[in-house]
Amino acid sequence: MLTCFIRYQIDPTKTAQFEQYAQTWGQAIPRNGADLVGYYAPHEGSSTLAYGVYNIPSLSAYETYRARLASDPLGRQNYDFAMKEKFILREDRTFLKLCSTPHGELK
């Protein structure tokens, strides 16, 4: 299992638009094959950093998921919304694997 961490730099005057974007992904991402952990908007501290986190079985499953998401009407609508509103200034994706499980046990 891989976890995709998406780090967004957002326009701090458009947090409401990011939150709408996140809520829409909350519907589209799970129905297209990824296990959504959640989207996180700024609250305290930085007003420009936001995150999206989901799990996917493998990089090949990720490619299949991305193709499904790109053809999903809600996914396309959300992408278009982000392009129109321009609240995302930068987006970085990193894939990590969990290495602390089972928690507390040594190999």
| DSSP per residue, 74-105 | HHHHHHHHHHHH--EEEEEEEEE---SPSTT-
With a cut of 90, say whether residue 66 has pLDDT above it.
yes
Q: Where are the alpha helices (DSSP H) in 1-107?
A: 15-31, 59-71, 73-85
Q: What is the pLDDT of residue 102?
A: 75
In a domain, 70, yes or no: yes
User: What is the mean predicted confidence (pLDDT) over 48-68?
Assistant: 97
Q: What is the pLDDT of residue 106?
A: 62
CATH number at residue 85: 3.30.70.100
In a domain, 78, yes or no: yes
Single pTM value for the model: 0.89
- For residue 66 the two structure tokens come to 């991305």
In a domain, 63, yes or no: yes
Domain of residue 37, residue span: 2-96
- pLDDT tens-digit series, residues 2-48: 999 999 999 999 999 999 999 999 999 999 999 999 999 999 999 99
- For residue 41 the two structure tokens come to 């908007």
Rounded to 5 degrees, what are φ and ψ at 59? -65, -35
- Domain count within the chain: 1
- Let me know: does 2 contact 99? Beta carbons within 8 Å: no
In a domain, 92, yes or no: yes
In a domain, 14, yes or no: yes
